């Protein structure tokens, strides 16, 4: 090879490398805000009791989705679906906090967590609080928490190396990053009066005042009881703290001159933790805020079409120029040729020891819910939920016969309907079940068929075997430190096994 030829080839290679590097540096950073236990109680979504200026600004500068739904209303199953872009039922990760003891769960062949796909494209992957001096609770970091990774909570075996670090500051110069800002959200309020008071102090330090319990508006099936009102006002203050944290992360991106080339996706992992919220398929449990802001995103747009949280994985990969796997069930809802969905789906399965199976389908006009264990009550025994002040208080009021007929019907009826059908818009709290109304018979039949088809096409495996239930509940009992919690959990698990043997 002549010197001229080799020089030309070397120059060509150098140009290609430089061109690739330039394109790599132009690729957007991707930042997800993932917030625990929070509904769309932001002022840009119509909340009147509080102001959330930073999330509101994201909405003004981006796209706000009004009908985004979680495919599961509890943390670990939501996050298992989120990080794969797959329905949690399809990947076998649909039972809360499962696959962590003797019973293991592996992802299906060809399914990889999203951070792996970003790493393969030379993105730096990180998960943390988004702030160098604050943790996920907006508390000052300590030497012990400074480098802590953010919440994962996946129900399958995974390698921690899918995350390169806890913060984007660890990346190479010019390297794009995929960051998950994991925030404690509604969990900040805790479940005791002492924790409420602690949050009041933090709120007053930040904003001057805490939200007045007398000003809150509750869903119509919750009584205006001081315990529930205080819980709700404290919850609203967790929304304010979350908004403040979001604002500080955005300011950091701006100060580091990263904001203009960063796609921000803000969402929560399910609705408020309450008696009819978290763990259930009503809007209180599955309707979530979703706001997207960044390069190429139009400002001040509102989209009212149905979307699912698993779509976030697909749109993020597409924004980074990474090919969306053919097996991924989430869709790039920002694509120019995207066709809006006619229906979206959700599933609730075992949560802790509380064995249940509920499935739902939403269309533009209806929400259809199927209860597979209708002989079990709505507020089934649950060591997790029964430790909450609000559930304890509801049970007290029930025992005192102090609840309204609506509260008794929706929260404490000994059985549930096998099918529920609600009108979107006209019945925002899903109070009037239309499943037995003749004028909605055609809609019932249609939605029943839609759900059957989804269950079949997505490979929904349904409930665990008795042996797997035993393994999972034993693992939970053994990993619980509190003696009282272990005993309550054990008794509840025995009850669920008995119910199953009785066909209940």
| pLDDT, position 2 | 40
pLDDT of residue 25: 53
Calpha distance 238→184 (Å, rounded):
9
- What are the C-alpha distances in Å from 272 to residues 189, 310, 359, 460, 463? 11, 19, 19, 26, 25
Whether residue 262 contacts residue 320, with contact meaning beta carbons closer than 8 Å, is answered with: no
Residue in 111, 125, 108 with CA at minimum distance from that of residue 160: 125
Tens digits of per-residue pLDDT, 11-43?
333 333 333 333 445 899 999 999 999 999 999
Long-range contacts of 378-382 (CB under 8 A, 24+ apart): 378/275, 378/276, 378/280, 378/410, 378/411, 378/412, 378/413, 378/416, 379/275, 379/411, 379/412, 380/354, 380/356, 381/353, 381/354, 381/492, 381/495, 382/351, 382/352, 382/353, 382/354, 382/492
Cα(106)–Cα(108) distance, rounded to whole angstroms?
6
CATH architecture entry for 3-501: 3-Layer(aba) Sandwich (3.40)
Determine the pLDDT at residue 134: 96
Position 226 scores a pLDDT of 97
> What does the pLDDT read at residue 128?
98
> What's the pLDDT at 3?
34
Among 303, 296, 301, 311, CA closest to 263: 296
Q: Write down the pLDDT at residue 15.
A: 34
Q: In what order do the strands lie in the sheet with 344-348?
A: 344-348, 358-362, 366-371, 419-423
What is the pLDDT at residue 26? 84
Two tokens at 99?
């696959």
Instruction: Output the pLDDT for position 469.
Output: 97
pTM summary value: 0.94
pLDDT by 10-residue block (mean), the chain, 504 residues: 37 34 68 98 98 98 98 98 98 97 96 98 98 96 92 98 98 98 97 94 97 98 98 98 98 98 98 98 98 97 98 98 98 98 98 98 98 98 95 98 98 98 96 98 98 98 97 94 93 97 96
The pLDDT value given to residue 123: 98
Location of structure tokens 């010019």: 174
| Ranges of H-type helices in 320-424 | 389-399, 405-412
3 state DSSP class of 492: helix
Which of 274, 261, 232, 482 shows the shortest CA–CA distance to 391? 274
Question: For 254-279, what is each residue's pLDDT tens digit?
Answer: 999 999 999 999 999 999 999 999 99
């Amino acid at each position: 090879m002549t010197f001229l030829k080799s020089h030309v080839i070397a120059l060509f290679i150098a140009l290609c490398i430089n061109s690739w590097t330039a394109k790599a540096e132009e690729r957007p950073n991707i930042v997800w805000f993932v917030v625990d236990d929070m509904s769309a109680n932001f002022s840009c979504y119509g909340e009147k009791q509080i102001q959330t200026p930073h999330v509101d600004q994201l909405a003004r500068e981006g796209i706000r989705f009004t009908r985004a739904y979680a495919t599961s209303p509890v943390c670990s199953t939501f996050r298992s679906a989120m990080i794969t872009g797959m329905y949690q039922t399809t990947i076998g990760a649909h039972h809360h906090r499962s696959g962590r003891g003797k019973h293991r769960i592996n992802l299906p062949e060809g399914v990889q967590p999203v951070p792996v796909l970003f790493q393969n494209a030379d993105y730096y992957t990180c998960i943390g609080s988004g702030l160098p001096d604050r943790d996920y609770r907006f508390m000052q970091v300590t030497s012990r928490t400074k480098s802590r990774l953010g919440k994962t909570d996946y129900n399958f075996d995974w390698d921690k190396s899918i995350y390169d670090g806890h913060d984007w500051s660890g990346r190479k110069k010019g390297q794009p990053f995929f960051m998950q800002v994991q925030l404690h959200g509604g969990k900040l309020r805790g479940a005791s009066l002492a924790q409420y008071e602690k949050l009041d102090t933090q709120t007053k330090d930040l904003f001057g005042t805490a939200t007045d319990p007398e000003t809150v508006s509750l869903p119509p099936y919750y009584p205006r009881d001081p315990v529930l009102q205080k819980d709700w006002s404290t919850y609203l203050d967790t929304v304010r703290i979350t908004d403040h944290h979001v604002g500080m992360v955005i300011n950091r991106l701006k100060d580091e001159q990263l904001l203009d080339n960063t796609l921000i996706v803000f969402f929560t992992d399910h609705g408020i933790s309450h008696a009819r919220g978290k763990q259930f398929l009503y809007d209180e449990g599955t309707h979530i805020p979703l706001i997207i802001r960044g390069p190429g995103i139009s400002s001040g747009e509102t989209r009212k079409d149905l979307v699912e949280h698993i779509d976030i994985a697909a749109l993020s990969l597409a924004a980074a120029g990474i090919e969306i796997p053919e097996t991924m069930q989430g869709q790039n809802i920002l694509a120019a040729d995207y066709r809006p969905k006619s229906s979206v789906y959700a599933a609730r399965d075992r949560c802790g020891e509380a064995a249940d199976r509920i499935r739902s389908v939403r269309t533009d006009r209806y929400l259809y819910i199927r209860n597979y264990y209708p002989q079990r009550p709505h507020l089934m025994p649950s060591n997790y939920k029964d430790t909450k002040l609000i559930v304890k208080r509801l049970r007290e009021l029930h025992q005192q016969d102090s609840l309204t007929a609506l509260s008794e019907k929706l929260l404490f009826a000994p059985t549930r309907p096998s099918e529920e059908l609600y009108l979107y818009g006209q019945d925002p709290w899903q109070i009037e079940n239309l499943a037995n109304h003749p004028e909605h018979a055609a809609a019932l039949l249609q939605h029943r068929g839609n759900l059957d088809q989804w269950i079949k096409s997505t490979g929904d495996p349904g409930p665990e075997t008795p042996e797997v239930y035993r393994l999972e509940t034993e693992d939970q009992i053994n990993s619980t430190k509190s003696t009282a919690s272990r005993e309550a959990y054990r008794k509840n698990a025995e009850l669920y096994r008995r119910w199953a043997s009785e066909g209940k």
